[in-house]
Amino acid sequence: MNEANEKGAIISGWWKSHLANRESGRARALAARLRRSEGIEALLEPEIHDLAGRLGIRAGGANRLVRLVQVLAEVRDGGARLAQRLGGADPVLSPLRFQRLIRARGEDLTVALRRALPMAERRCDVAALGKDLLYWDVPDTGDKIRTRWAFDYFSPANSTPEHFLISHASEPGA
């Protein structure tokens, strides 16, 4: 398992432990606080520091961590990769909005994903979404991620071509 897949598994496990069970008052409350949080406020939750420690994220990666947990707070259930759920023959997210999402960075990306998730019934592959968010802004790697998203959106029935699979050699922002 490469580093990106390990991080995806960590993110998915954390999400299952802290956010997935919305029958739990604790999970509902944490998700609500994360959805309402602005920037640094998300870092005031001890559960977020648990995730940061597991991922090896330090203060330099705080913005990526905040983006990750704010988006994960919107996800209710697992499923296919998000771009696959948004696209296809009859896309639930218009091609123009998808293009804006692909071009988005930083806070704009967080907003775009939080708006797109309800269109996908708040379901997606949490591990894939999590690792993609961690590396979205990394030169070269981010381009590969966005390329895969484009293929997923426009032809979700196809599997990802082998040469678009991502291996991450270095850890950004740690």
Reported as a single tens digit per residue, the pLDDT across 111-134 is: 999 999 999 999 999 999 999 999
173 within a domain of the structure (yes/no): no
Give me the mean pLDDT over the 6-14 stretch: 97
162 within a domain of the structure (yes/no): no
164 within a domain of the structure (yes/no): no
Number of domains in the chain: 1
168 within a domain of the structure (yes/no): no
166 within a domain of the structure (yes/no): no
pLDDT value at residue 2: 85
- pLDDT band of residue 10 (cuts 50, 70, 90) is very high
Give me the mean pLDDT over the 40-47 stretch: 95
Is the confidence at residue 85, as pLDDT, over 90?
A: yes
170 within a domain of the structure (yes/no): no
57 within a domain of the structure (yes/no): yes
Distance from C-alpha of 161 to C-alpha of 174, rounded to nearest angstrom: 30
Lookup: tokens for 37: 């949080």
| Structural domain boundaries enclosing 35 | 3-156
- Better-scored residue on pLDDT, 77 or 2: 77
pLDDT value at residue 107: 93
Question: Domain of 28: which CATH number?
Answer: 1.10.520.40
165 within a domain of the structure (yes/no): no
Dihedrals φ, ψ of 32, to 5°? -65, -45
